[in-house]
Chain A
Amino acid sequence: MYPYEGMILVDPVQHTADSEAVEKTVKDLLEKHGAKIHQFERWDDRRLAFEVKGHKRGVYLLVHFEMPGEGVDTFRRETRIVEVILRQLVIRLDTDIPTHLERSAAYYDKMREDQESRRAARDGRREDYDGQPASMVEAT
């Protein structure tokens, strides 16, 4: 059993029609190949960067699971047969799932902090600039 992070892009039309059924097919498919699901997350219907199998929008399902190595290949193959699944990406994690979730939470905290400090710096610069040109501010 190895830890994996999987993202599955599903058909938004079928998902809005019956979200439970779609999510159940995905979960069942994972469990059929010996997966133990740790976390199951849904990203709301969003615009795709480009068309995938004729769809301009899609619903992403983010799953963290443990699976024996042999299961991954057969899982990938079978996702091609299931119609609701438009695309799939399974990545082997280099740490166990709780550590990974912790690390990614820390990552997003840092990114948010950075964004806020950037915004503050930019706004500060604007205030300095207000009313008089930058060279004048320096001279006084």
Chain B
Amino acid sequence: MTEIQDALEEIESVVGSDYVTDKDFMKAAYSRNVDPAFPDRWADMIVRPSTTEEVSDIVKIANKYKIRMVPRGGGADLVGGSVTQGGILFDMTRMNHIVEVNADDFYCVVECGITWGALVSELHAKGLTTGVLGPGSGYSATIGGGLSNSTAGFGSTKYGLVPDICLGVEVVLPNPEGTILQTGVAANKYAKPFARYGVTPDFTGLFMGDVGTMGIKTKAFLRLAPLPPLRALRYYMLIKNDYNMVSKLLKQLRDKVGDGISDILVIPYPVVRIQAGIAKNKPAKKSRLTGSVFMIGFEAFDQRIIDVYLEQVEEIMTKDGICRSFEMHEIDLDEPLTTDWQFNLKMAFNYFNRFISIVPDMISCTTCHKIPISYIAEAEKKSHDFDAKFHSEFPNKSLSLFATVIYALPNGNCVFVGGFNGYNTEDQQPIAMNLWHKKLRAQVHYGGAHYWLGESISQSIVEAGAYSPEFAAFFKDAKKMVDPNFLLSPEKFHMHQYDEPLSKYEVEDEPY
């Protein structure tokens, strides 16, 4: 403990004694995130740096004493990504400033601890937007967390994932020198951070979706777009519950409407029924629920254009009686009619919260992953087969959903936002954790691409044997180059030490 105490004192001299703590109740407050299946993890200390230079100095101290480090943004993740057993936990939310909004050249520079809620709110007031609004937990999730987890969220159907709008980052490498780098065209020290590609290979990508393993991101350079002033929303319900039809409709919408659509969320049939069941303000007359519901968002700069999009979508969705127009108001009177609907961030940032704890004191073990849209029906079937085969291994009364939402992304792929719920108690956590890994491995085996990796999902990918030996070696070499003392976010991707093959952690699963 002496080394920890020595390090603490040195860190105090960097940030001041008010901004680093090793008190037990503080550690307890940082001991977990949304995830239910992880045991509590107490850091040795929590530090709230305010500048990139402070981060760099702390990294140097950590290297001096060989103390592990984990950066934490909003602490809103569900996959064990931003807690640490022992070591230094960086609470990055003090670095929450907007450094520059360049409305002429459509980019901004922000500190990575700012939340999506704060940034997007500020941008919208200036008639600008990031397009993709960050993860569903965006009120509390930070820009840094969104980049480190390659997340999707509202706007992703049109604008892509969070890294797609990233033009570069300022990052502190976890090496003994605490090296500070800027990527993107900002690698040219004479250039403004206005573009991602050029000057160097795309080193920005090294830090996207890295779940905090390759460096500590302190600033982000983000692409901006003008904020379309006009928005509309429509719902359509499938007359038959047919996931092949979901794929066909998603393709047709992509083919014929394209960028007019900002969001397509398909709410699977079972979830529609759950939503009808948990609605606080149910209508007297029950609506006839027949299939999955498409929620389609539109945006444009001109009402005439919106009208054309609405007409095109209406034609695609209702042709041959495939779908009917639907209103969420039919199952929940608190939901506005689409004709009265007005965009607000609360909808974008609270949409997913409702599914995290459908049953009190049970929290979702998330299995969010991407698949090609042509594979939706097959993946849905595989998920059901898995649940049936391993039914007895689920936590008691657990509800497993292959997707609470199918979220369309650009280029013909989509996210299955799904999972099952487990109890938030120590005796139940191992049950949920074992099944969680098993289910994730099954999804990796059918070609699913997880993006929000944290610890549980990154380890499951390794356990499933997804990486070739050549790729695993390349990955480790890259990690070793930036983190020679192996201090930043250990455990993720089952990288426990450099001289150990990842294949050691592969798991042979029973077929289903």
Does chain A bind chain B? no
Name B's A-contacting residues (CB within 8 A).
Answer: none
Name A's B-contacting residues (CB within 8 A).
Answer: none
